[in-house]
Amino acid sequence: MKKRTSFSIFLSVVSALFLREVQTRFGTKKLGYLWAVIDPMVKVIVFSLMYLAVGTKMQGIDFPVFLATSFLTYNFFSAVMNNSMPAFDANRALFSYKQVKPIDTIFSRFFIEFLVMSATVIIFICFGLYFDLNLAVKDFNLVILSIIWFGIFGLSLGILFAIINTFYETFGKIINFTSMPLFLLSGLLYTVDSLPPIARDIILYNPIVHFIEMIHGNYFSVLNTDYVDYEYMIFWTIIPLFLGLLFYARAEKKIIAS
């Protein structure tokens, strides 16, 4: 058999893992993917109705559209980050093949979640058009870039968390704990400038807020990206990625052999 480069082996393995995950998720539990659409849909409806009842209005924006941009992208990020932790265990049998390395499973989950999000976006666009909502995008390229960057941020946390979780099981539970507070504190339901100054300063410590603001600011013409701190986002992307890869390089053999 001819010798292949590391990279081509990596591509073969990630695509094999991707296809297998598509088969198992689509195949056995057909509702699996439907949930990816239903979850954000329900949230959009519920929160839109709540805000309607309270009387909050966002000038110049259809609130459901605002919520959809929040939930779809946040779910993508959150899925990448959270699904990376069980990735090693879920694929353990496949480590019998030396081409399959643990980190390949995290990358393949990233692409799966990206696929899921893309499909869900298309469905939401259809709904949006049907209900005559204002779907206008201010800067499409920057929106796409922001989403991809958001995903990479999730990936870098995912790698780091997956390794920590392998050696300290309670870590995963701690992260699960934070999911509800994070949901409320990530700027999904409101814009940063609508907050009182003290709250604003505190919430800007959450890197997720910057990503969400960046997406909102580039999507909606009435919003802007004034509060987005690109430097902060870069640190939050690169440092976990660096740490994650550093730990991974040392831990890979232990993860395979355990």
Partner 1 sequence: MIELKNVTKYFKTEGEKKYILKNVTLTIPSHVNLGILGRNGAGKSTLLRMLGGIDFPTVGTISSPNTFSWPMGLSGGFQGSMTGRQNVKFVCRIYGKTVKEINEVIEFVQEFAEIGHYFDMPIKFYSSGMKSRLSFGLSLAFDFDYLIIDETLSVGDENFKKKAKKALMKKIENSNVLLVSHSMSDLRNICDAGILIDDGKIFYYEDIEDAINAYHGINASLPMGQNNAPSSSAILCSDGKNFDTINIAANFYKVRPMSIVQALNENNGSNIYLKKVFWRDGQNKLPFQTWQNTIEKETIISSDGVIFVNALEASLFYMDRIPKANIDKMHVEEVMNKEDGISKKLNVKFYYLSEYK
Sequence-distant (6+) residues with CB within 8 A of 62 are 133, 134
CB nearer to partner 1: pick between 102 and 240: 102
The verdict on 6 binding partner 1 (CB under 8 A) reads: no
Rounded to a whole number of angstroms, the minimum distance from the CB of residue 22 to partner 1 is 11
Which of 38-46, 95-103, 149-157, 226-234 is the region at the interface with partner 1 (rule: CB under 8 A)?
Answer: 95-103
The verdict on 9 binding partner 1 (CB under 8 A) reads: yes
| Residue 148 vs residues 151, 159, 182, 199, 212: alpha-carbon distances, Å | 5, 16, 20, 28, 12
The verdict on 257 binding partner 1 (CB under 8 A) reads: yes
CB nearer to partner 1: pick between 4 and 57: 4
∠ Cα 82 85 90 (to 5°): 115
Tokens of 55: 């009387």
CB nearer to partner 1: pick between 94 and 203: 94
CB nearer to partner 1: pick between 19 and 126: 19
The verdict on 20 binding partner 1 (CB under 8 A) reads: yes
Give the length of the chain: 258
Among 19, 45, 52, 234, binds partner 1 (CB under 8 A): 19
Phi, psi dihedrals of residue 109, rounded to the nearest 5°: -65, -35
Which of 7-15, 30-38, 41-49, 193-201 is the region at the interface with partner 1 (rule: CB under 8 A)?
Answer: 7-15
Among 194, 205, 246, 253, binds partner 1 (CB under 8 A): 253
The verdict on 4 binding partner 1 (CB under 8 A) reads: yes
Burial environment of residue 230 by CB neighbours within 10 A (0 to 12, 13 to 18, 19 or more) = exposed
Number of residues that bind partner 1 (CB under 8 A): 25
The verdict on 23 binding partner 1 (CB under 8 A) reads: yes
Residue 228, phi-psi category: left (phi > 0), alpha (psi -120 to 50), beta (remainder) = beta
Q: Are 68 and 40 in contact (CB under 8 A)?
A: yes
Q: How far apart are CA 29 and CA 156, in angstroms?
A: 28
| Residue 36 vs residues 17, 31, 71, 145: alpha-carbon distances, Å | 20, 9, 11, 22
The verdict on 191 binding partner 1 (CB under 8 A) reads: no
Among 30, 98, 173, 250, binds partner 1 (CB under 8 A): 98
The verdict on 99 binding partner 1 (CB under 8 A) reads: yes
The owner of tokens 């899925």 is 79
Rounded to a whole number of angstroms, the minimum distance from the CB of residue 95 to partner 1 is 6
Binding site for partner 1 (CB under 8 A): 1, 4, 8-9, 12-13, 15-16, 19-20, 23-24, 28, 91, 93-100, 253, 256-257
